[in-house]
Copies of this chain bind each other. A is one copy, B any other.
Amino acid sequence: MSFVNAAFHAVPSVQSLPAYESSVDLARELRGEIDIRLDLRHAGIRQVTLRYELLGDAGLPVVLVAGGISAHRHVVASATFPENGWANALAQPGRALDPAHRRLLAIDYVGADGKLDVPLETADQADAIVQLLDALGIARLHAFVGYSYGALVGLQLAARHPDRLRRLVAVSGAHRAHPYASAWRALQRKAVALGQLQCADAQGLSLARQFAMLSYRTPEEFDERFDAAPEIINGRVRCAAEDYLDAAGAQYVARTPVNAYLRLSESIDLHRLDPARVGVPTTVVAVEGDRLVPLADSVALVEGLNAPGASGRGQLRVLRSPYGHDAFLKETDRIDNILVAALRDADRNENGVSA
């Protein structure tokens, strides 16, 4: 991948292309974007804008943190960007992702702005990240911590560009989309299509998101929160969880272009790779009760990493959580413990550079 065509726009004002992380005094809290030419598997070469955020002093080990399809480049609140990030709790002082000790890099996924209405692959995301690392002068990530879609992208990065990361932590994501989860997402996309049929795009997207919420959470959580008897309102039964789901749908619609949702959702279903190709040490984190990624798939992934001839080696950590697929965002202490251990291993392997 070349970055000859990369145009670089950093906010706040950073005038020059940064070189290798340890030698340039970049702003500690930086939001920027680069224009890249990306060779998409299903749509040929396209010019896309890749938006990123960097937080933490130059010279610290760089950890790329990548979340689900609705995550973005803003991981945690900072002085310059004070709104809460999508993984705010995990990047607090004393945590594994403490920006005082790690330099956190995150992106808006390719397609997240809704401007690219073509099929996207997780491999496309990984290739885009390599161009960003080149542009930022980051030879190799200290670690890639990926959750959900981010785990899929991390696996592709580790398979296609193993020299660009020392270690992968793949949470709630495996080497394939499970057929049942794919069916669930396909129906969500049909809800969007049904909405679009009648110029009710927002309702369709909201409904899709609400079905997705069910796949992210568990019956245990719903039982605790929504055990009240249903009401009859205007002659229709309304269940206890509906207010919550409506709010979740509306919140999502307000911040998500329909195309972004559709193309990133599809991208999960296109994801398939051979675990034996993953070329770096990998910690796979599975959540028992995850309704999208069954434990069996996480086990198969780790077994594939450790297979004779496999280029990586892996370990499996299993959580049981009432938050299911969303445990990464909710089980702060337990996820942090796992990240602490995984990043400590990465530190040890770095031969002299430690956090």
Contact = CB atoms under 8 A, between A and B. Distances in A.
Interface of A: 42, 118-119, 178-187, 190-191, 194-195, 197-198, 200, 203-204, 207, 210-211, 214, 218-219, 222-223, 225-227, 229-230, 232, 235-242, 245, 266, 269-270, 272, 294
B232 A183 contact: no
Contacts of A227: 179
A294 B237 CA distance: 22
A196 to B, nearest CB: 10
Given A223-B179, A245-B187, A239 B269 contact: yes
A230 B269 contact: yes
B266 A186 contact: no
Interface centre among A183, A194, A229, A272, by most B CB within 10 Å? Answer: A183
A74 to B, nearest CB: 28
A214 B183 contact: yes
A201 B74 CA distance: 41
The 9 closest A-B pairs by CB, nearest first: A180-B219, A198-B198, A237-B266, A180-B222, A183-B241, A179-B226, A182-B239, A186-B239, A179-B222
Given A198-B200, A207-B190, A178 B219 contact: yes
Contact of A239 (B119, B183, B200): B183
Contacts of A204: 194
A227 B181 CA distance: 11
Given A187-B210, A239-B269, A272-B229, A218 B179 contact: no
A149 to B, nearest CB: 14
Contacts of A239: 179, 182-183, 185-186, 269
Contacts of A178: 219, 222-223
Number of copies: 2
12 contacts: A42-B232, A178-B222, A179-B239, A179-B241, A185-B239, A187-B245, A191-B194, A197-B198, A230-B266, A230-B269, A237-B266, A237-B270
A202 to B, nearest CB: 11
A183 B203 CA distance: 17
A232 B119 contact: yes
A223 B178 CA distance: 7
A303 B42 CA distance: 56
Contacts of A180: 214, 218-219, 222-223, 226, 241
B240 A179 contact: yes
Given A195-B194, A198-B198, A266-B237, A242 B210 contact: no
Contacts of A219: 178-181, 294
A269 B237 contact: yes
B190 A210 contact: yes
A210 B195 CA distance: 16
A198 B195 CA distance: 9
Contacts of A226: 179-180, 182-183
A270 B230 CA distance: 6
A195 B218 CA distance: 27
Contacts of A223: 178-180
Given A179-B227, A194-B203, 15 more contacts: A178-B222, A180-B214, A180-B218, A180-B222, A180-B241, A182-B239, A183-B222, A183-B241, A187-B245, A191-B194, A197-B200, A198-B198, A219-B294, A229-B272, A230-B266
